[in-house]
A = this chain, B = another copy of it.
Amino acid sequence: MKVIVLCSGGMDSVAVLYAAKKEHSVQRVLSFHYGSKHNDREIPFAAYHSNLLGLKHEIINLGFMDTLFTSSLLQSGAEIPDGHYEETNMKQTVVPFRNGIMLAIATGIAESTKSEGVVVAAHSGDHAIYPDCRELFMQGFAEAMKTGTYAAIQLLRPFISMDKAAVATTGNKLGVDFSKTWSCYKGGDIHCGTCGTCVERREAFIVAGLPDETLYAKTPPLPAPPHP
């Protein structure tokens, strides 16, 4: 199938890019620059892997989001919190409806390039605190994509039944060099090791039993998930 792949340059979306390249005919790889603190760290890795796989990579500029949206993930926002990625204080890192915006643009580009699907790296570990990762959101959006295009564009989520550790295992088997991916929301020179997404990254490699070649500023013991 001809597909468009969303790839931020993080672990999950780089792994899904390799999976999509194996399974489909990838027409475009899309990264979005929306003014987050870590866009300039992650997007070069999306470009690197696209190039390695011989795929066309486009960076979509959504600079207005940094001005008009509220989130600590953005350059205009507050400091990124440390802690477990399921803590409710991680809510402040949500960029409102970001997945909806990226999927909508990808759908338009899919229709424009005569593609039939949009591939995203959504997995079972995506958290309920992010509303636009929820299953009901994805179902509604998939319906809008299908009915709102001539080609009845499909939303493809090959990793949806895997957790992040399983995604790491799958990516590893596909030959992904995870040292060339970026997770840290703080967007410093190296991964901080303590923000929610660094904690999630560290945990995934441990659970998968894979070496973690990421250079972290600090690696304190991993925090436990919050009490329900």
Q: How far is the CA of A61 from the CA of B142 in the complex (A)?
A: 25
Contact A132 B148 (CB under 8 A): yes
The 8 Å CB contact of A104, one of B68, B101, B131, is B101
The 8 Å CB contact of A149, one of B65, B97, B110, is B97
Select from chain B the residue with minimum beta-carbon distance to A150.
B131
Contact A97 B68 (CB under 8 A): no
Within 8 Å CB of A132, what residues of B?
A: 148-149
The digit string for A79-113, where 1 denotes a CB below 8 A from any CB of B, is 00000000000010001111111011101111111
Contact B104 A97 (CB under 8 A): yes
| Interface-located stretch among A13-21, A133-141, A181-189, A191-199 | A133-141
Knowing A96-B107, A104-B101, the reply to whether A131 touches B112 (Cβ < 8 A) is no
Q: How far is the CA of A203 from the CA of B205 in the complex (A)?
A: 64
Within 8 Å CB of A110, what residues of B?
A: 96
| CB-contacts of A50-95 with B (<8 A) | 58, 60-61, 63-65, 68-71, 91, 95
Q: How many residues of A contact B (CB 8 A)?
A: 46
Interface residue? A219 (CB, 8 A): no
Within 8 Å CB of A28, what residues of B?
A: 68
The 8 Å CB contact of A111, one of B64, B97, B99, B142, is B97
Within 8 Å CB of A131, what residues of B?
A: 147-150
Interface residue? A143 (CB, 8 A): yes
Query: Which residues from chain A sit less than 8 Å from chain B, CB to CB?
Result: 28, 58, 60-61, 63-65, 68-71, 91, 95-101, 103-105, 107-113, 131-132, 134, 136-137, 139-150
What are 7 A-B pairs at a CB distance below 8 A? A58-B64, A70-B112, A96-B107, A100-B144, A131-B149, A137-B144, A144-B144
Interchain residue pairs A-B with the least CB separation, the first 3? A140-B143, A96-B111, A140-B144
